[in-house]
Structure 1
């Protein structure tokens, strides 16, 4: 035991002991930091993998939505083109202009019956009014009414005032 006490009293042993204690403390601290950091790295890698999975899912969803929108847009463009071609075909059918002219003349004759005195100026006025009514009726509700019942919807309110004139004569 005496030898042990003599060895402990030496300054070299004290320096060695202190150095070993510091080394062990540093090594233990480094080991615990390494374990903690490796846990953090694994946790962050898992989070990154999850986030990449979510991002891939979101991109797939957006891609599918964009693809569906593109397909719908293309379908609508094709339908629009088909309708435009159909409209052009229907408007250029033979006899279409003659039917329109007939409708104009029929409306003009109806107005002339109401406005008999002064036939020529009244006739021209009636033809012009009928043409403007037909042009206005090319779109909208008047067109629909004309398609369903061709003789109705041609004149505005002149028939009502004309029937009053016939009652006076």
Structure 2
């Protein structure tokens, strides 16, 4: 034991012991830091996976929403174009009311050619007669004939009167 106490009295041994103690504490601190950092890395990797999953889910939802909006926009553009074409077509065609009024006026003019003496009273009478004839001809065979050939339908209603063969104009 005396040898051991002599060895402990040496300054080298004190320096070595102090160095080993410092190395032990540094090593222990390094190990604990490594363990703590590895736990932090695992926690952060899990958070990163969760965030990536959330981001992927959010991007899918946004993509589906954008796709549905684009589909709806495409549908609305097609409907808009169809409505624009329909509107242009309808504006270029005369309406049913205008066609009806034209047919009534045509029948009235034919009657005026027959009854020319007093223009105004004859015109009013002819207009009323044409309107009543048109309303009466809305049903049955007269309507079918008028749809096929409008001028013949009114001449048939007048009993063939208003034929332009006798009229010099």
**Pair in the same fold by TM > 0.5:** yes
Computing the radius of gyration from Cα coordinates, the structure with the larger value is 2
- Report the Cα distance in structure 1 between the residues aligned to 2:78 and 2:71, rounded to whole angstroms: 11
Q: How many residues align?
A: 105
Aligned to 1:91: 91
Give the SS at the match of 2:52.
helix
Moved over 3 A (4+): 95-98
Aligned to 2:61: 61
With a CA cutoff of 8 Å and minimum separation of 6, indicate the structure with the bigger relative contact order.
1
- Report the Cα distance in structure 1 between the residues aligned to 2:33 and 2:97, rounded to whole angstroms: 96
Aligned to 1:35: 35
- Report the Cα distance in structure 1 between the residues aligned to 2:18 and 2:97, rounded to whole angstroms: 118
Cα offset, 1:92, TM superposition = 2.2
Cα offset, 1:13, TM superposition = 0.5
Aligned to 1:128: none
- Report the Cα distance in structure 1 between the residues aligned to 2:96 and 2:39, rounded to whole angstroms: 85
Aligned to 1:125: none
- Report the Cα distance in structure 2 between the residues aligned to 1:27 and 1:100, rounded to whole angstroms: 105
* TM-score, structure 1 as length reference: 0.56
- Report the Cα distance in structure 1 between the residues aligned to 2:46 and 2:72, rounded to whole angstroms: 39
- Report the Cα distance in structure 2 between the residues aligned to 1:102 and 1:67, rounded to whole angstroms: 51
- Report the Cα distance in structure 2 between the residues aligned to 1:39 and 1:50, rounded to whole angstroms: 17
Long gaps (5+) in structure 1: 107-118, 120-169
C-alpha distance after superposition, 1:39-88 (max 9, x if no partner): 10111111011101101110110011011001001101101111111122
- Report the Cα distance in structure 2 between the residues aligned to 1:16 and 1:46, rounded to whole angstroms: 44
- Report the Cα distance in structure 2 between the residues aligned to 1:2 and 1:38, rounded to whole angstroms: 48
Cα offset, 1:90, TM superposition = 2.5
* CA-atom RMSD in angstroms: 2.5
- Report the Cα distance in structure 2 between the residues aligned to 1:73 and 1:3, rounded to whole angstroms: 97
* TM-score, structure 2 as length reference: 0.56
**Pairwise mapping of residues 69-148 of structure 1 onto structure 2 (< 5 A)?**
69-93=69-93, 95-96=94-95, 99=98, 102=101
Aligned to 1:127: none
